[in-house]
């Protein structure tokens, strides 16, 4: 199964090993699910996860986070959207995740902020937008 993962899910997985986000990262690590990744999304992950405030929240070094990013790059299926689907979401940075989900034909877009994606001017039925907990419930079925 191929999924697109929002930055906030990776952030939460690095911050705590107790939640659904961490379990999703473990599924990726075990090869049970694949994540879709584009160069733009990888740069977004890096920008957010290597902020000084993020490193403090994770209690990790910059090198540790870059090791995680290298793993995600290695374990992912790469896609480069060649044209833009602009669903015109309130947070411009969220548009890249919709574009990646469409181009990769991901089954799910996993995010902590579902409501950010509900106000899209464009609607896509090829993927479902779910929280990490919702994804795990559906994945277990």
d(CA 107, CA 88): 21
Question: What domains, with CATH codes, occur in the chain?
Answer: 2-140 (3.40.50.1010)
Identify the pLDDT of residue 141: 86
Identify the pLDDT of residue 116: 60
List the chain pLDDT tens, one digit each, 141 residues.
999 999 999 999 999 999 999 999 999 999 999 999 999 999 999 999 999 999 999 999 999 999 999 999 999 999 987 766 655 556 567 788 988 998 999 999 999 987 766 665 555 677 888 999 999 999 998
Identify the pLDDT of residue 94: 77
d(CA 31, CA 48): 25
d(CA 86, CA 70): 28
- Contact in structure between 136 and 13 (CB atoms under 8 Å): no
Residue 50 DSSP class? T
Identify the pLDDT of residue 79: 96
């Amino acid at each position: 199964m191929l999924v697109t993962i929002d930055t906030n899910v990776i952030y939460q997985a690095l911050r705590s090993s107790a939640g659904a986000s961490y379990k999703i990262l473990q599924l990726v690590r075990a090869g049970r699910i694949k994540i879709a990744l584009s160069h733009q999304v990888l740069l977004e992950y890096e920008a957010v996860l290597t902020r000084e405030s993020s490193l403090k929240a994770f209690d990790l070094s910059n090198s540790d986070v870059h090791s995680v990013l290298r793993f995600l790059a290695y374990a992912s299926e790469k896609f480069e959207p060649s044209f833009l689907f602009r669903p015109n979401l309130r947070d411009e940075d969220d548009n890249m995740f919709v574009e990646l989900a469409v181009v990769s034909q991901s089954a799910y877009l996993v995010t902590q902020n579902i409501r950010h994606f509900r106000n899209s001017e464009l609607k896509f039925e090829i993927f479902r937008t779910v929280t990490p907990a919702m994804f795990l419930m559906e994945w277990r079925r």
